[in-house]
Structure 1
Amino acid sequence: MITTPPNLNNWLGRKEEISQLQTWLCDTTVNLIGIQGLGGVGKSALAAYLYKHIEFSDKFWADISQKPDFVVFAEKVITALGGQVTKQGDIEELINDLLTCLSQRRCLLVVDNLETLLTQSRQWRDSAYEKFFNRWLQQGSKSILLLTTQEKPILFQAQPCWYLLQGMNISDGGLLLQQLGIQETIAQLKLFSQAVDGHPLTLQLVAGYLREYCNSPLSGAWELGLEQFELVAQAQGLHRDKQDVRLSWILQQHFQRLSPVQQNFLVNLSVYRQAFNHQAAG
């Protein structure tokens, strides 16, 4: 389980989002907040900004993208926040210990990538997590859980403090491209940002492509076939989200620039979710 938030390099904008989330985080009657959005839209970065800038008695970051067992998750949180595990191996007692630890003082617990715990029908893969979150909704006090997720669990369907995160506004998207070294007037950069709905990961991938292969002018972006995104979406199925199509298209352009050896190496790396040695990478 990853316990450090992502860095905030190239951070800018999101003033409205920060204002709303900060209001909820400072409300002592709120015990759970969700940030929901597409992959790459900036959920983790926004949570990391709040994690860094808002004061709490203590805080802990839990990236659960590697699907840790609930016991691992709970014991790490309890230990980091100064609590005690009273009975090893007993899920009910572990949930009690975690609730006690979080209720002793005002802490912030960020659970990043919550969707990895869910099935396609938004049910829980691990019933222990469901029991914990259910009891937190009923009994949790003092501390706040801040969740990031692509999908909203059915359990949280009625939660009022739930933020649906969209792309960056046009101006901030243009400024991000400029900050990433893309050469063009700010008006043209804004237009490009608008064309990709201000999706931060798309903007960063495009900027990386332009710097690497086009010496940074925005005009080179059309080599990516951005104007064909809707046609690609139709060819690959209307059920797919257009941001997924865009990211796939951009990554494909990067991938095709690699040598066969590099492509094979990258494909081999893609199967690993845990740490691996040099021999495994080969």
Structure 2
Amino acid sequence: MANSLRASTQGLEIVDRARQRRGWTKTSTARWWQDAHTSRATLRRFWQGERIQQDIFIAICQAVGISNWQAITAANEVPDSPTPRFHWDEAPDLENFYGRHEELDQLEQWIINDRCKLVVIVGLAGIGKTSLALALSDHIQQKFEKIIWKSLQTPRPLISLLDSLLNTLDNPTAAQIEQGIIQLLDYLQKHRCLLILDGWETTLEAEQKPTYHQFLQRLSHARHQSCLLITSREKPSVIEIETKARCLSLKGLQAADALMLLKAAGFNGQELGLSALIKIYRGNPLALKMVTPLIQSLFGGNVSAFLSQNTWVVGELLRNIFQQQFERLSCLERDLLYWLAIWQEPVSLCRLQSYLLPSTDPCEVLEAIVALERRSLLEKWWSDEQPSFTLQPLLMKIVKDKLVEQAAAEISQVLQTNDLRYFNVLRTHCLLRPGTDVFVGDYLLSRLREQLWRVYGPELQQILERLLGQLQGKKPLLIGYIACNLVFISKQF
């Protein structure tokens, strides 16, 4: 091909170091091919050592700051391995990617060296699961004949997913789920494929869960030479019983990598408070990206001024995602989240259970804690070899707001119906953090009082007294924490 070039092995290493400095992936960062005025497919051909047009070759090098493009070219080198076939129409573009070297090494070890059939990347919303999966597939692409990316972010029936996969593999579509699984397994036995399913948590809806659970069991247990990589906010139960299955619980970015992200977002890296900002948001990439424009627009880039507000900006996207998770929790799991929000600090399982109302079987509490951990909603701390649990700061903010909203709604319902049975959270949870008697300034009580005052105004005090009067003579089990909470709210005046 006249006026075309291809990269040498050594040249690709130079480009690889240059793109890492910019926080770009090999083929998923849209800005790269946009700056080079080309396409993702052409960028992928560049990385595979194929010949591309000379002007595009030069533009790809210059986009990552390499002016000496001649040092990247190869004269007569032959590509080391066959070119894999990509089916990435459903894969998102990636803005940037920082760090995660240990995670990439661990995932590569499981998939390439240990030949695991099922690998799960699990973590809180916005933590970077999809970005890590994209970077990993870039990193190990030459080890597979085919790489297939399917998005489950929008729920779809299993038969629809199977038809899409079989069409991608040029196989006839299946009329039934069992037939489709057999056809897919037959292909995965004959070919070394990396199948990526992004957003597995949508399959955990009640109507989807049984069929997808069966699908996951079959693919992780059957004999084949391929790997299924899934990302999810919740860990599938099958991961616990399969010997060729592994799970990576993804945490936030390390401080240095998070700082690179913030610098790419417009900070110079010298601003006071950046380390505290990273710590508060636990290095969550999406949360940091969402709060950055607010700091820059409202506070002129003054991070310390933002932190002095002593609040966390969550963002509508993360709030909506959590709301979806919250709706799938059991009553006990929700109660535990509310109590952890009230405590505001790590609390042991034994101490937490002593405040539950009504008293709950310890086995049920333990199972609920495990379920919340599976959903990436808890932080675990160790003291004297005993685990304590708390919420991540982002979730702490969301759960507190949810608790205030629920408490206010219960008071409104009781006033409208004169039925004390509408007291639920206020009956089972003491809003004042255990071990303290500081009423004024308590976050939950102050927020609840403010919300009630906006509705009832100066009459609020009389309303609280009337509700307390209705509790007179009622059984302790019915009253629970209601009286205490109403007194605590009135103490805010």
Give me the TM-score of the superposition, normalised by structure 2.
Answer: 0.44
1:139 counterpart residue number: 222
The counterpart of 1:44, out of the listed 130, 134, 140, is 130
Q: CA deviation at 1:140?
A: 4.0
The counterpart of 1:221, out of the listed 306, 312, 325, is 306
2:6 counterpart residue number: none
2:261 counterpart residue number: 176
The counterpart of 1:153, out of the listed 236, 247, 250, is 236
1:267 counterpart residue number: none
Bigger CA drift: 180-189 or 8-17?
Answer: 180-189
Q: CA 1:224/1:143 → structure 2, altered by over 3 Å: closer, same or farther? A: farther
Contact 1:175 1:186 in 2 (8 A): no
1:66 counterpart residue number: 154
Which is higher, the Rg of structure 1 or of structure 2? 2
Q: CA deviation at 1:221?
A: 2.6
Q: CA 1:198/1:128 → structure 2, altered by over 3 Å: closer, same or farther? A: same
Q: CA deviation at 1:193?
A: 1.1
Unaligned segments of structure 1, at least 5 residues: 250-282
Contact 2:148 2:196 in 1 (8 A): yes
1:31-87: CA deviation from partner (whole Å, max 9, x where unpaired): 1101111111111110111123322211111111211111110111121123333xx
Q: CA 1:126/1:151 → structure 2, altered by over 3 Å: closer, same or farther? A: closer
Residue 54 of structure 1 aligns to a residue in which SS?
helix
1:87-120: CA deviation from partner (whole Å, max 9, x where unpaired): x42221111111112222111111111111115x
CA distance in 1, matches of 2:121, 2:99: 17
Q: Which amino acid aligns with 1:39?
A: A
Q: CA deviation at 1:240?
A: 5.7
Q: CA deviation at 1:9?
A: 1.3
CA distance in 1, matches of 2:165, 2:225: 16
CA distance in 1, matches of 2:126, 2:223: 30
Residue 113 of structure 2 aligns to a residue in which SS?
coil
Q: Which amino acid aligns with 2:110?
A: W
Percentage of identical aligned residues: 26
Q: CA 1:184/1:52 → structure 2, altered by over 3 Å: closer, same or farther? A: closer
The counterpart of 1:127, out of the listed 210, 218, 224, is 210
Residue 181 of structure 1 aligns to a residue in which SS?
coil
1:279 counterpart residue number: none
Q: CA 1:22/1:9 → structure 2, altered by over 3 Å: closer, same or farther? A: same
The counterpart of 1:196, out of the listed 281, 303, 309, is 281
Contact 2:120 2:247 in 1 (8 A): yes
Structure with higher RCO (Cα < 8 A, 6+ apart): 1
Q: Which amino acid aligns with 1:80?
A: T
Residue 163 of structure 1 aligns to a residue in which SS?
strand
Q: CA deviation at 1:184?
A: 4.7
Q: Which amino acid aligns with 2:113?
A: D
Aligned length: 240
Q: CA deviation at 1:224?
A: 5.6
2:164 counterpart residue number: 76
2:104 counterpart residue number: 18
CA distance in 2, matches of 1:246, 1:36: 22
Unaligned segments of structure 2, at least 5 residues: 1-87, 315-339, 346-389, 401-493
1:197-229: CA deviation from partner (whole Å, max 9, x where unpaired): 111111111112123333333234326633799
